[in-house]
Amino acid sequence: MTDFPSLTPQTRTYTPGSFAVRRSRVLSGDEAAVRKNNAAVGHSLSLTFVSSTTTVQNSIFSHYAIQNRFLPFDLPSTITDGGGLSFPANYQWIYAAPPEVTFAPGNIQVRVQLELVAPYDI
Amino acid sequence: MTTFPTLYPDSITFDHGLPQVSEYAAFGVGPIRFRNSNLVNSQVFTLEYQNIQQSSVDLIRDHYIQNQGTAGSFAVPSSIFGGINLLDANSRYKYAETPTEQHFGVYFSLSVTLQALEGVDTLSILNGGSATLPSEESFSSIAFEGTAPFILNGSSSVLATMTLNAS
């Protein structure tokens, strides 16, 4: 397992996990809800890295080439610094989608989407 | 039942919900519509918070978890909606979807979507209030149009007692 590169993102979008819930509407318009699990799943992080060189891009793509959507990994603290974020113990991240790059001379933006998954053995 | 944190959004987007009407149609018949309750429900509010601090984000994040995500219902302080005055004070809400946070260094932006479970009561209530009985005068008008029942509420005031004359 290789941790995500120790980079500092320019922007970060976080969506907390949600519980599996079955919501059923009754005739009056009210809703009955049944929660089906105790753990929130589906935490997601979207990160944008901006750099003037291809160094950041290369480190992310090298990491993605190994991990892909298959191998889970941990995040270094530089990714979540200042966000006050906490996640379930032993959960790890996978790539939700391939990283995307917008390339302009002197301005390279790399967008990464990550998804938190429950621990599992491979 | 919990209460949504009293945090005032920068903007609010909302719709006016749906009446609880079901429709029956068969060959040569209908459509026949049934109103299943007096409430117009399912108003969806999108609250946008711009450049707020982490302590405020934590309040909503914790409330979302405490509320079991989209499962539980809760109250929302009417002050959050400013002067909209769309729903009753005792309306209940659920998270329509998971809130989304955007982190920009020190400050945060947050988008929260709420759905009303008990919306607007569409009963027509004529309240006589404290008015004194006026002198008689000729009057001809279609007072009511729509779906019964209509409630005439004379209130508890003696002066506002309502007289229904069947003759």
Nearest to B103 among A11, A17, A42 (CB): A11
Distance of alpha carbon A23 from alpha carbon A10, whole angstroms: 37
pLDDT attached to residue A109 = 93
Q: Domain containing B31: what range?
A: 2-121
Nearest to B101 among A13, A19, A42 (CB): A13
* Selected residue with higher pLDDT from A38 and A44: A44
pLDDT attached to residue A12 = 93
pLDDT attached to residue A101 = 92
Do A20 and A35 form a contact (C-beta atoms < 8 A)? Answer: yes
Spans in chain B with pLDDT lower than 50: none
* C-beta atoms of A18 and B98 within 8 A: yes
pLDDT attached to residue B114 = 93
pLDDT category of residue A44 using cuts at 50, 70 and 90:
very high
Distance of alpha carbon A117 from alpha carbon A94, whole angstroms: 7
CB < 8 Å to B57, chain A: 84
* C-beta atoms of A28 and B36 within 8 A: yes
- For chain B, the domain total comes to 1
Domain for residue B147, yes or no? no
pLDDT attached to residue B157 = 59
Nearest to B69 among A29, A40, A82 (CB): A40
> By percentage, how much of chain A surpasses pLDDT 70?
98
Domain for residue B37, yes or no? yes
pLDDT attached to residue B129 = 65
DSSP A20-68: -EEEEE-TTS-EEEEE--SS-B--EEEEEEEESSSHHHHHHHHHHHHHT
Nearest to A18 among B54, B69, B73 (CB): B69
Q: How far is A55 from chain B, CA to nearest CA, in Å? A: 22
pLDDT tens for residues A9-31? 999 999 998 888 888 888 777 88
Interface of B with A in 134-163 (CB under 8 A): none
| Domain ranges, ordered by start, for chain A | 11-15+43-117
Domain for residue B79, yes or no? yes
pLDDT attached to residue A19 = 86
Residue with tokens 């049944």: A34
* C-beta atoms of B103 and A14 within 8 A: yes
Query: Is ipTM > 0.85 here?
Result: no
Least confident of A3-7, A64-68, A100-104, B85-89: B85-89
What is the Cα B44 distance to its own chain's centre? 10
